[in-house]
Amino acid sequence: MRRPRGKGATLLAAVAFSACIALVESSGKAAGSDVGDDGDGGWKSPFLLFLYHLFGWTAFFSWSFSFYPQIWENWRTYSVEGLSFDFVSFNFIKHTSYGAFNVVLYFSTAVQKQYEEEYHTKTIPVALNDVGFSIHAVLMVMVQIVQLCTHERGQQRITFTATMILAVAVLFILVSLSIALSGKKVFGLTDWLGFITAMNHLQLAMTFIKYSPQAYYNWKRKSTEGWSVWGIVLDLVGGICNLFQLLILCWNTSDVTPLTGDAGKLGLSVETLFFDIIFIFQHYVLYNKSSQPSYEVLSLASPAKIQ
């Protein structure tokens, strides 16, 4: 499989863009200014604030760029036979639920107040880069869904097991939304805070579930042909930077609430690192190109149902 050129340049561009945005966001904010309305004495130093934004925006660009290699691979071959339909379906639920959490907690002052009262903190763990990534991710997954419908798919389809999981996820969303609209507590938390917390837990569960079909599909075919590993490399970088941004926020405020109050962000990083390492091992060790048969032969195989 021909791989995208300029891989290192893409990553360097992500870091460069992130550094520029971090400088802009950090400029004019002296030590002691706040971020996310933390109100706990602000930042210990301008450099720490810069690092917070640098890691955050590097995660944003790395994760955002990670969608494009697979979209390009699908377009170049006009085929989606190397991409698991279950993975894309789970990914859509994951990013829409995570987007709901990020957008509401970042923009709603009422929910922010509920969060502060519930967790006894002024530190809001959602940054602008989290919101931007979520919106962009939903759009990119929608592009992939269009490709699944229009490109050569072989015998691929969403498995019955995946369909049942998706149905349960949608039911969970509707029930949580209904409870929130009624003004009652969800997960023991006040209405909308409870709802977005439920969405955060859902995205964490879907993050774990979504990677499994692709890992299984690669194993069944004994190949990663037709599937872009470069997207996984960028995904790995994004997970590492996202984790460091969260740890810097905790270190600055001497408060672990961002870890407990936004377990989804922590879990997202950990799960991303775990599965990305598996994918990279599959691609470069188990099913490296030198030991793979031709793609034409492999494309005849169809993914089995995940039992």
* pLDDT for res 106: 95
Let me know if residue 307 belongs to a domain. Answer: no
How far is residue 21's CA from residue 17's CA, in Å, rounded to a whole number? 6
How far is residue 114's CA from residue 64's CA, in Å, rounded to a whole number? 30
| Below-50 pLDDT ranges, the chain | 1-4, 30-41, 292-307
* pLDDT for res 296: 42
**Which residue, 44, 17, 5, 26, is CA-closest to 132?**
17
Let me know if residue 123 belongs to a domain. Answer: yes
Inter-residue contact 259 to 194 (CB < 8 Å): no
Let me know if residue 303 belongs to a domain. Answer: no
* pLDDT for res 261: 67
Mean of the per-residue pLDDT values for the chain?
82
Coil, strand or helix at 230: helix
The answer to pTM > 0.85 is no
Let me know if residue 2 belongs to a domain. Answer: no
- Spatial neighbors of 275 by CB under 8 A, at least 6 apart, are 211, 215
Identify the domain containing residue 272 by its residue range. 7-298
Inter-residue contact 50 to 26 (CB < 8 Å): yes
Let me know if residue 182 belongs to a domain. Answer: yes
Coil, strand or helix at 152: strand
Let me know if residue 206 belongs to a domain. Answer: yes
How far is residue 307's CA from residue 22's CA, in Å, rounded to a whole number? 45
* pLDDT for res 105: 94
**Which residue, 250, 26, 12, is CA-closest to 121?**
250
Indicate the number of domains in the chain. Answer: 1
Let me know if residue 304 belongs to a domain. Answer: no
Q: How far apart are the first and last CA of the chain?
A: 30
Let me know if residue 1 belongs to a domain. Answer: no
